[in-house]
Amino acid sequence: MTTDLPDALRRLYALSNRGVTLGLDRVLDASRRLGDVHRFAAYAHVAGTNGKGSTSAFLATMARAAGARVGLYTSPHLCRFAERIQIDGQPIDDDLLAHCLDEALRAGPELTFFEVATLAAFLAFRLRGVNFPVLEVGLGGRLDATNIAEGRAVPIITRIAFDHMEFLGPTLRDIAREKAGVLRPATPVIVGRLHPDALEAVQQVAQGLGATVYEVGGEEQRYVEAYQPSLPGAFQRSNAMCAVAAARAFGLPPQAIAQGLAETRWPGRCELIESPEGYTILDCAHNPDGAMALKNALMGFVSSIPRRHVALIFGAMADKNWRAMLDRVGSIAGHRVYVAPPGGRAPAPLDAIQAHLPGETAPSTAEALALARQRVGRGGLVIVAGSIFLVGPIRAQILGLSMDPQVGL
C-alpha cells in the first residue's frame, strides 16, 4: 500500500463540489468492480434524524465486548476523516485508508464524496476481516449509498424529525418513508420512539415488504435501567434501547450488552471536557429536535451554576432552522457568543442570529472560545452547539488534535 494519504484525501475532497446526488446505481456498479464489497454475512443499518451515531457507537461497543471483529462507518467526522471508518474501536490507519480511498476513487471516478467514502469503508472492512459491520446512514436511507449493503440485515430507525427536507420531503411521513428505505423484506425493523405520523409511515412500508416493526420498550428499558448508559442525557437512553434491541437480535450475550452500555464513548455528543481553564460541553445538535434534547440534558447540570458563569458558543448552517434551535438553548447561558462554523457550506449570518437573540460575535472559533472563557471566568462552563462543524474545530483546539478539512457530506 504505497498510496500517499494526503494525495488520496486531496482527490477525495475535490469531489465535494459534486454535492449530494442520491441514488444507488453508480456506487453499486463501482462496488461490483471492487469485488462486491457491499456484500456482508450480516450487518446493522442505522437510520434516523438524530441519535443514529450514538446508537451505532453503543452497538459497536457491545459487539466488541462480545468478541466480534467490528467495523463502524459514520459521518461526518469531527476532526479527522479517518474517524468515519473504525475497526475495533479505532480509526483505520493511514496506509489502509489511503489504499481504500485510492481503490474506491479508481473504481468509481463518477462518484460523489460520500459514495467514495462508503466504498472505502466497505473495502476496509473486507480487507481487515470485519464480521460485524455497523453502518450509519448518511442522508435519508432509501437512496443513501450505504443502502447498497446486502446480507442479513438488522435495520434500526432511531428518531425522525424535521431535517434535510429539500431531499427527504416536507412532512414527517415523507421523511419517515425515505428513512424506511433501509427495511428489508420479511425482516424486523427496530424503531425508537417515533412520532405517530412517522411510525405509521414506517409501518406502511414494512407491511408492503412483509416486514415487522419492533418498537423498543420493556426488555430494553430494563437493561438501560440496570446498566446506566455511559453517554449522558435522557435522549441517550432511547438510543441505548435501540442498540440493546439490535444486540439481542444479533444474539449478543447479556454481559456484552451491559459492558457496551457502560463503556461506549462518542465524542461531541453532550461531551464534558475538563481543562485548566474550566469545563466545556460539546454537542453536535444541529436541528431543533437535537437542540431540545441538549437543553433537557443540560438543565440539571447548569441549575447549580450561576448564569454569569455559563456561556454558549453557537453557530449553524444557513439551511438549518437555527432560530428554533437558538430559542431552545439560548436562554441556558448568561453569555452568548456567535461564530460561523468553518467549512464549505454557507453559515447562518451572524448579524441575523444576533438580531434574533442578542449576543456577541467572534471572527473565528479560536476567538469565540477565548471570548467565552473571558466572560465566564476561570472555572466557568462553556457550551458549544449548533453544528458538528463548530464542535469539531473547538474540540481540536481544546485537546490539541489535528484537523482534516470538514465537509457536510
Q: Is the pLDDT of residue 2 over 70?
A: no
* Residue 219: predicted pLDDT: 92
Residue 111 banded pLDDT, cuts 50, 70, 90: very high
The residue among 132, 178, 177 whose CA lies nearest residue 151 is: 132
Q: What is the mean pLDDT of residues 27-42?
A: 98
Rounded Cα distance between 322 and 348, Å, is 8
At 128, list the grid cell: 481487515
Q: How much of the chain is helix, strand and coil, in % rounded to 5?
A: 50, 15, 35
**Mean pLDDT in residue range 167-184:** 93
Express each pLDDT in 350-362 by its tens digit: 999 999 999 999 9
Sequence ranges of the domains in the chain = 5-263, 271-399
Mapped onto helix, strand or coil, the DSSP state of residue 378 is coil
* Mean per-residue pLDDT, 291-306: 85
What is the pLDDT averaged over residues 65-81? 97
Which CATH superfamily hosts domain 5-263? Mur-like, catalytic domain (3.40.1190.10)
Site of grid cell 458563569: 309
The reported pLDDT for the residue numbered 232 is 85
Question: For residue 372, what is the enclosing H or E element?
Answer: helix 365-376
Residue 224: its pLDDT value, please? 95
69: closest CA among 134, 121, 137, 140?
134
Span 383-399, pLDDT tens digits: 999 999 999 999 999 99
Whether the predicted pLDDT of 1 surpasses 70: no
- pLDDT (average), residues 363-371: 97
pLDDT value at residue 344: 61
Task: Provide the pLDDT confidence category of residue 329 given band limits of 50, 70 and 90.
Answer: very high
**CATH T-level fold of 271-399:** Protein-Tyrosine Phosphatase; Chain A (3.90.190)
Per-residue model confidence (pLDDT) at position 102: 98
Q: What are the two backbone dihedrals, phi and then psi, of residue 347, each rounded to the nearest 5 degrees? A: -85, 160
Q: Is the pLDDT of residue 25 over 70?
A: yes
Give residue-wise pLDDT tens across range 253-287. Answer: 999 999 999 999 999 999 999 998 899 999 998 88
Tell me what the mean pLDDT of segment 203-229 comes to. Answer: 95
* Contact in structure between 406 and 84 (CB atoms under 8 Å): no
pLDDT of residue 399: 95
Give the model's pLDDT for residue 130.
98
Q: In percent, how much of the chain has pLDDT > 70?
A: 99
pLDDT at position 235, please? Answer: 82
Mean pLDDT of the chain: 94
- What values do phi and psi take at 32, rounded to 5? -65, -35
What nine digits make up the cell of 227?
446498566
Residue 129's pLDDT is what?
A: 98
Bridge partners of residue 406, in order along the sequence = none
Q: The pTM is what?
A: 0.93
Q: Are the C-beta atoms of 287 and 252 separated by less than 8 Å?
A: no
Predicted pLDDT at 302 = 80
